[in-house]
Amino acid sequence: MVHITIDGITLEATEGKTIIETAFENGIQIPHFCWHPELSISGNCRMCLVEVGFPKKLSDGNLERNSDGDLVINYFPKLQIACATFVSEGMHVRLNSPKVIEAQEAVMEFLLINHPLDCPICDEAGQCKLQEYAFLHSKGESRFIEMKNHKDKRVPWGPNVLFDAERCISCSRCIRFAKEIAKQDVLTFVQRGDHVTIELFEGTKFDNPYSMNVIDICPVGALTSPDFRFKSRVWDMSFNDSICPGCGRGCNIKIGVRNNEILRLEPRTNLFVNKYWMCDWGRLTQYTFVNKNRITEPMIKNNDQLKIVDWKEAIEFTVQRLRQYKPNEIMFIASPKATNEDNFILKKFANEIINTNNIDFLKHIDESFEDDLLRVKSKTPNERGCEIIFKDIQSLKAIELAENIQNGKIKVVYAMEEDFADYPMILESMKNLEFLVVHTYNNNEISLLANVIFPASTYAEAEGTYVNINGRVQHFTPALVTRENFRFMGMKMSRLDKFGADNDRWTYHEQRNCKQSWKILQMLARALSFDWNYRNSSEIFSLIAGEFSEFKSMTYELLDKFDGIIVGKADSPESVKYKYESHYMKPN
């Protein structure tokens, strides 16, 4: 432990750390472009120049003090970069001295010489570090009257990344990311001086499964996503915290929403789970099923014809049909795609109301998906949660469902948020069912077979918890407005959604009539004259916390505070460290 003083504040710092790390851990911002806590130190942007010095020592070994009794500091004549200067005992750092400010302004002026300033066109505008610093640390004027350098624009690096060489400020974050995190060392600087640009090695492509993270860490708009390009300005979107449902890792994400439509997903820092990254597959695929091909109203099948009905009619129809069967003829299929709350209520519904033990869930495993950074083979977000909730259930197995339907044991299936896409045998056998109820997000094969379809909320519309593959319980809240949660979304909606009126065309978004699965089950329970009256997800979570030792004394507040808690460890959660936010002025 050493002591360093930054702008008069004495801090305890760990030896071997740099000034910028120590500052960020203590909540002090130092302007920088190229430094990133997960990447190696490059020290090429020169934005983090600070004044560093040590107290003056007298010949007798004592520290010299001035007439006010303050230490006399000998500052180095030249500025040091905070990202590559290691802390040492007694170090004094000045972040705001005239010398430092002059250097920052010079660096900004220098960077802006060849920067095209096409902010109106650039997707990064509104969350751009260069833009932020142009306001905070620059004179706001250019003395450069010569022609700017022109370089290549719209260079495809790989399938998911476009490069604009003019906007690049050569911070090398993407080069280091490719080499150190994605382990695909294909990027390099070429040329020198103001002609410097980044190129791929000949015959290579930047196409690793994590390539799109360079778009997030790029401090300017040099790297853009062809998937998102120009869909929306950042300030028109709302960014709501959520969990990626693509695999068992449970990467923390932000959902960018405008007009009640998800426009993009991006990683959110959680040092215990995904750090600063997420995979391209998750980012590109895990919102389409929310936006498109949705089931938006309850439906029942009459004479082989699906028709849209209101909730009351659908519930009554279901209850009436369920009453015709014996409890052991009904099989409940829970889902590792659904939240713990939904699965718990389904179990409660099966055990206490239908009086059957026939409840199980299906795993979705894809060995080829796994890699050693984030992706895991379990392709559902809540497999661990299901394992915990259904651990002592003596049930018919879900994987034997096809046989049980064929031999007539099971006549009714109640499938919650399960699409059986990986189980074609079961799908085939379901044609022989007498009655099939599904909660589903999309029109798919199972919805074609169903007698009753309840539109279920996806992860983006629900509140709940997932347990990731390492047993971390993580809480998430809705990002999209449904007719059910409209009143609670309030300030979480994007600007345009919040203030739109009925004569504005931009508020003609789809407000779906879907509900969280536990609410649908509660409606059924009430129709079967059980007095269930749970008001929100957190009430159900407290029931779970009471019943399972794994979730003991967990609450949503605790989960939010500690970035999720490992199962069974609610009493001793890992403490949350300072979270580095690269583009910190980004709207929320």
Partner 1 sequence: MNRRKNSEAERLNFWEKLYIPEIAKGLGLTFSYMFRPKFTRQYPEERFEPTGSYRGRPVLVLEEDGERCVACGLCSRVCPALAIEVQAAETEKEKERYPEKFEINMLRCIFCGFCEEVCPEEAIVMSKDYDLVFETKKDAIYGKDKLLVPIAELQDRLEFLRQYK
Distances (CA, A) of 177 to 173, 221, 309, 357, 414: 6, 16, 52, 50, 46
Per rule CB under 8 A, is residue 233 in the interface with partner 1? yes
**Closest distance to partner 1 from the beta carbon of 236 (Å):** 7
Rg, Å, the chain Cα set: 28
Strand runs labelled E in 123-228: 155-158, 161-163, 187-190, 197-200, 223-224
**Closest distance to partner 1 from the beta carbon of 317 (Å):** 38
Segment near partner 1 (CB under 8 A), from 180-188, 225-233, 565-573, 578-586? 225-233
Segment near partner 1 (CB under 8 A), from 36-44, 360-368, 443-451, 497-505? 497-505
**Closest distance to partner 1 from the beta carbon of 87 (Å):** 42
Name which of 166 and 419 has its Cβ closer to partner 1: 166
> Which listed residue (50, 257, 496, 565) binds partner 1 by CB under 8 A?
496
Segment near partner 1 (CB under 8 A), from 118-126, 341-349, 363-371, 423-431? 118-126
Buried b (16+ CB within 10 A) or exposed e, 423-457: beebbebbeebebbbbbbbbebebbebbbbbbbbb
> Which listed residue (58, 63, 121, 425) binds partner 1 by CB under 8 A?
121
How far apart, in whole angstroms, are the C-alpha atoms of residue 171 and residue 40? Answer: 12
Closest CA to 240 of 199, 268, 276, 219: 268
User: What is the side-by-side strand order in the sheet with 252-258?
Assistant: 238-243, 252-258, 261-267
DSSP conformation class of 432: G
With a CB cutoff of 8 Å and minimum separation 6, the contacts of 326 are none
Per rule CB under 8 A, is residue 65 in the interface with partner 1? no
**Closest distance to partner 1 from the beta carbon of 160 (Å):** 16
Per rule CB under 8 A, is residue 588 in the interface with partner 1? no
Per rule CB under 8 A, is residue 236 in the interface with partner 1? yes
DSSP labels, 22-48: HHHHTT-----SS--TTS-----S-TT
Per rule CB under 8 A, is residue 64 in the interface with partner 1? no
Packed helices 311-322 and 517-527: angle between N→C axes, nearest 10 degrees: 60
How far apart, in whole angstroms, are the C-alpha atoms of residue 449 and residue 444? Answer: 9
Per rule CB under 8 A, is residue 229 in the interface with partner 1? yes
Per rule CB under 8 A, is residue 499 in the interface with partner 1? yes
Name which of 135 and 230 has its Cβ closer to partner 1: 230
Per rule CB under 8 A, is residue 76 in the interface with partner 1? no
Q: Is 163 helix (H, G, I), strand (E, B) or coil?
A: strand
> Which listed residue (99, 137, 179, 231) binds partner 1 by CB under 8 A?
231
> Which listed residue (2, 28, 84, 119) binds partner 1 by CB under 8 A?
119
Per rule CB under 8 A, is residue 584 in the interface with partner 1? no
Per rule CB under 8 A, is residue 503 in the interface with partner 1? yes
**Closest distance to partner 1 from the beta carbon of 496 (Å):** 7
Name which of 154 and 292 has its Cβ closer to partner 1: 154
Name which of 55 and 500 has its Cβ closer to partner 1: 500
Residues between 429 and 488 that touch partner 1 (CB under 8 A) = none
Per rule CB under 8 A, is residue 28 in the interface with partner 1? no
How far apart, in whole angstroms, are the C-alpha atoms of residue 279 and residue 247? Answer: 10
Strand partners of residue 155:
163
Q: Is 112 helix (H, G, I), strand (E, B) or coil?
A: helix
Per rule CB under 8 A, is residue 500 in the interface with partner 1? yes
Closest CA to 257 of 440, 97, 489: 489
Name which of 125 and 393 has its Cβ closer to partner 1: 125
Segment near partner 1 (CB under 8 A), from 300-308, 435-443, 494-502, 577-585? 494-502
Residues between 124 and 183 that touch partner 1 (CB under 8 A) = 125, 153-154
Name which of 232 and 335 has its Cβ closer to partner 1: 232
DSSP conformation class of 127: S
Residue 359: phi, psi to the nearest 5?
-145, 125
Total residues contacting partner 1 (rule CB under 8 A)?
A: 20
Q: Give residues in contact with partner 1 (CB under 8 A).
A: 119-121, 125, 153-154, 229-233, 235-236, 496, 499-500, 503-506
